[in-house]
Amino acid sequence: MTTAAARVHPLADIVESVGTTRANESVTVTAKVTDPIRHVRFEDGDFVDQGDVLVELTNEEQTAQLKEAEAGLEDAQTQYDRLKDLLDQHSIPVSDVDEARARLSGARARYQAIVARLDDRLIRAPFAGVLGFRQVSAGSLITPGTSITTLDDVSVIKLDFALPEVYLGSVHSGLELTAASAAFPDRPFDAVVRTVGSRVNPVTRAVQVRAHIDNPDALLRPGMLMTVRLATANRNALMVPETALLQRGAETFVYLLDDGRARMNAIELGVRRGGQAEVRRGLEPGQEVIATGLINVRNGGPVRIAENDGDASARPPPEQTDA
C-alpha cells in the first residue's frame, strides 16, 4: 500500500458544447432588373473576388440610351460654356446662364442614370468568397429576386453554440477554445470567442456564444456540426489520485491513514482529470489517503504502508484532457 496527500492544484474546468458553423458573409445573388441573360461568367464552386462579374445581361437598349445621353450632355456643356463667355462680355442676362446651367445639370443627371442602369446589367460579386450551384443559363429571362447562385465568404467561419448560464462569468471575448468536426476527426480547429449573447434563454437557461475560426484552406463550410471544448479560468481544487477512490453505491469514499489504521471517509467528488480527482467536500489539504492496495484494506484495520515511489498527489492534473 502507498499513501498520497490531498493537495490543492490550479484547475480549469473543461466545458463541452456543440455548435453550428456559419459563413463570415453569406448572400443569395440576385438581379435588380428584368432582362435576358447574355453570358454566365462563373462555374459551380468558383472562388471569386469582390467586384467580379458573374452574369452579364443584354444591354442594347441601355447602350443606345447612353449614346443619346452623352450627346445631350456634350450639347448642354457646349451651350453653357458659350453663354458663360457671353455673360463675361456682358452680352446676355444672368438668367440665360442660369437656365443653361440647369439644363447641363439635368443632362448630367440623365447620363449618370443611364450609366447606373447599364451597370445593373452586370451582376457582380459583392464580396470575395466561394460560389454555390449555378441556377441560371444564358438566354433565360431573369427578374428581380431570381436566385442566380449563393456566395459565401468562408475565410473566417463563425461558430455558434450555447453554454449554461453558470459559465457567464468565465466566458468572454478573446477566450480561446478548441473545436472538432466529424469530417476531420484528427484535426482540431483553434477558435476565439468573439461575442457572448446579451440575453439568457429563460427556458434553457443558456446563453448563445459566437466564436471565429480562421479557415484559410476552406476546409470548414457553413452548416457543419462541431464539438466545442473550452477551458474556464483556473480555480483552486483539492485533488487526490483516482486510485484512492472507493465507490459504494451512489457514494464515494477514501481511506484516511489515522494512527496506523484505515478510516473510511465519505467525500463529494468534482471533476476527474489526468488520473486525479477533485474533492469538493470531506477532506482537508494535507490529509493522507491510501492511494493503492485498497483491496486489502478494511475500515478500522491496521495498514502497512510501503515506501511511496514519489508523491502522486503533487502532480498537477492536465488542464486540457478529461479523464
Going from the first residue of the chain to its last (323 residues), give the mean pLDDT of each consecutive group of 10, the final group possibly shorter.
90 90 97 93 96 91 81 84 77 79 88 84 95 95 94 98 91 94 95 96 96 96 96 86 92 90 92 90 92 86 70 52 39
Write down the pLDDT at residue 120: 87
d(CA 261, CA 20) in angstroms, rounded, equals 55
d(CA 35, CA 118) in angstroms, rounded, equals 12
- The residues facing 112 across adjacent strands are none
Cell of 4: 498520497
Domain architecture of the chain: domains with CATH: 2-11+236-314 (2.40.420.20), 14-24+154-231 (2.40.30.170), 31-57+122-147 (2.40.50.100), 60-119 (1.10.287)
Write down the pLDDT at residue 84: 79
Cell of 300: 478500522
Write down the pLDDT at residue 323: 34
Cell of 251: 457514494
Give the predicted TM-score (pTM) of the model. Answer: 0.68
Q: Using an 8 Å Cβ cutoff, are 289 and 255 in contact?
A: yes
Write down the pLDDT at residue 207: 96
Write down the pLDDT at residue 310: 44
Task: Name the one residue in this structure whose C-alpha cell is 478573446.
Answer: 174
